[in-house]
Structure 1
Amino acid sequence: MNPVAEIKQLTKIYGNLRGIHDVNMTVQQGDIYGFFGPNGAGKTTVMKIMVGLSKAQQGEVKLFGYNVATHYEQAMAKVGVLIETAEAYTYMSGRRNLELAARFYPGVGKQRVDEVLETVDLTPFQHEKVAGYSLGMKQRLGLAAAMLSKPELLILDEPTNGLDIEGMVHIREIIMRLAREERITFLISSHLIHEMELMCSRMGIIHQGRLVREGLVSELVNGSATLEEAYLREIKEVRGLAAHA
């Protein structure tokens, strides 16, 4: 497998002394990589640095072999992004929002808009104003926008956050279908461990700004009945080591 994203010694400390510390992680081609941790653990900070929305104080990020800090356009050429809440003009239709977004990508036109609407199951609602969309539909519209450029890597920050069960299942099914049929690699953050267990092939666990474990989901479970039990065991060990440091 080829590394699609490589993060080395990534550090960013805020004024309140929170942030991320010496994060090292690798997303391999074909992964559905789950970036798991509680709220405030540092997931969004890592992702914002990865896509150039924030600067690290130390370390580097490479996407498809290109350093984001020094070769941004090349690094982001095959990347789609949905960070935090999906934004859209609520007074416009879903389709019109995508048509406006498509203008940022050379060669992306009506046919691609049709394709992404079909992929996220919004074709029947494409001419409705976004103001009337449910939260799940808005998230799917954001996912469609992230897919316009036919990315090989999709970075999604909490894509199921706030959704009801049906909405979560819908997003999960879309992600798994895209990974299987279009060979898209995913990096997905979440604080919902059950979602990660159902969807992801590999995971990284972040706790208080530090990546404490990374590996195949099957490796992380390692004898535990569930991924949740494995996570609690891992965090207990980390806290024990910190207490004796």
Structure 2
Amino acid sequence: MDTIVEIEGLTKTFRNRRGIRDISLSVRRGDVYGFFGPNGAGKTTVMKIMAGLSRADRGKVRLFGHDVAANYEQAMAKVGVLIETAEAYGYMSGRKNLEMAARFYPGLPASRVDEVLELVGLSNVQRERVDQYSLGMKQRLGLAAAVLSKPELLVLDEPTNGLDIEGTVHIREIILRLAREERTTFFLSSHLVHEMELMCNRIGILHEGKLIREGPRSELLGGRFATLEELFLHEVREERRAIAHV
């Protein structure tokens, strides 16, 4: 099975001394990899480095075998990204925003905009100005932009942020369908353990900048834990106990 994401020894320290430390992991084609932990654990920092939006102090990220820092264009050629807040031009309609984004992908059929609007459930509001959209609608538009080019890897930071229950279920179904039918690989972050449990076949648990547990979901639970929430709380307690005894 192809390795799509390779992260080795990733480290970045900010002025407040928070950051990430020596993170290593890999993601294979077709995986839905869930990167979860509390707010401030370092999830977005890792994803920004993956997307070339920030530089690590040490370590490497390779996407499709290409080093992001050294060969950015090759590394990102088949990647779609939605990190933090979805950005769009508020004075334009949702459709116009997507049509403008489509210009960056030569050869993309015009029908693709209609396809992604339908996919994320925005067809009925595509002519409305984005500044009239709710937070959840903006998040859907950001996802539409991320999948516009039919990327083979999607890096999504809190993809269900701002969505109601129906919207959350819809996005989950989209992710699972793309992974199953098109073998799209996903690297997702969230602090919502329940969503990770329903979507992801592989899990990485991040706590205070450190990857404290990582692997296939079924192996991590291993019959010992009924839910990822139980696993997470156990791992955090063990990590704190280990630190206290250093």
The TM-score bracket by the shorter chain reads over 0.9
Pair 1:227 & 2:228 matched: yes
Q: Is the 8 A contact 2:139 2:161 kept in 1?
A: no
Q: Once the 2 structures are TM-superposed, how far is the Cα of residue 186 of structure 1 from its aligned partner?
A: 0.4
Q: Is the 8 A contact 2:11 2:58 kept in 1?
A: yes
Misfit runs of 4+, over 4 Å? none
Partner of 1:131: 131
Partner of 1:240: 241
Partner of 1:76: 76
Segments of 5+ residues of structure 1 without an aligned counterpart are none
Task: Supply the distance in 2 between the matched residues of 1:178 and 1:119 (Cα, whole angstroms).
Answer: 11
Task: Supply the distance in 1 between the matched residues of 2:44 and 2:70 (Cα, whole angstroms).
Answer: 21
Q: Once the 2 structures are TM-superposed, how far is the Cα of residue 135 of structure 1 from its aligned partner?
A: 2.1
Partner of 2:179: 179
TM-score, with normalisation over the residues of structure 2? 0.96
Paired amino acid for 1:112: R
Q: Once the 2 structures are TM-superposed, how far is the Cα of residue 213 of structure 1 from its aligned partner?
A: 0.8
The 5 A counterparts of 1:1-245 are 1-222=1-222, 223-245=224-246
Q: Is the 8 A contact 2:95 2:113 kept in 1?
A: yes
RMSD: 1.1
Q: Is the 8 A contact 1:8 1:24 kept in 2?
A: yes
- 1:56 counterpart SS class: coil
For structure 1, which segment, 155-164 or 47-56, has the greater mean C-alpha deviation from structure 2 after superposition?
155-164
Q: Is the 8 A contact 1:176 1:199 kept in 2?
A: yes
Q: Is the 8 A contact 1:38 1:191 kept in 2?
A: yes
Paired amino acid for 2:157: D
Q: How many residues align structurally? A: 245
Paired amino acid for 1:227: L
Q: Once the 2 structures are TM-superposed, how far is the Cα of residue 163 of structure 1 from its aligned partner?
A: 2.4
Q: Once the 2 structures are TM-superposed, how far is the Cα of residue 166 of structure 1 from its aligned partner?
A: 2.0
Q: Once the 2 structures are TM-superposed, how far is the Cα of residue 120 of structure 1 from its aligned partner?
A: 1.4
Paired amino acid for 1:95: R
Report percent identity of matched pairs: 70
Paired amino acid for 2:242: L
Q: Is the 8 A contact 2:136 2:161 kept in 1?
A: no
Q: Is the 8 A contact 1:99 1:109 kept in 2?
A: no
- 2:81 counterpart SS class: strand
Paired amino acid for 1:87: E
Q: Once the 2 structures are TM-superposed, how far is the Cα of residue 109 of structure 1 from its aligned partner?
A: 4.1
Q: Is the 8 A contact 1:11 1:57 kept in 2?
A: yes
TM-superposition CA deviations, 1:99-143 (whole Å, max 9, x none) = 111112222241221221122122222112222322222111111
Segments of 5+ residues of structure 2 without an aligned counterpart are none
Q: Once the 2 structures are TM-superposed, how far is the Cα of residue 3 of structure 1 from its aligned partner?
A: 0.9
Task: Supply the distance in 2 between the matched residues of 1:7 and 1:191 (Cα, whole angstroms).
Answer: 21
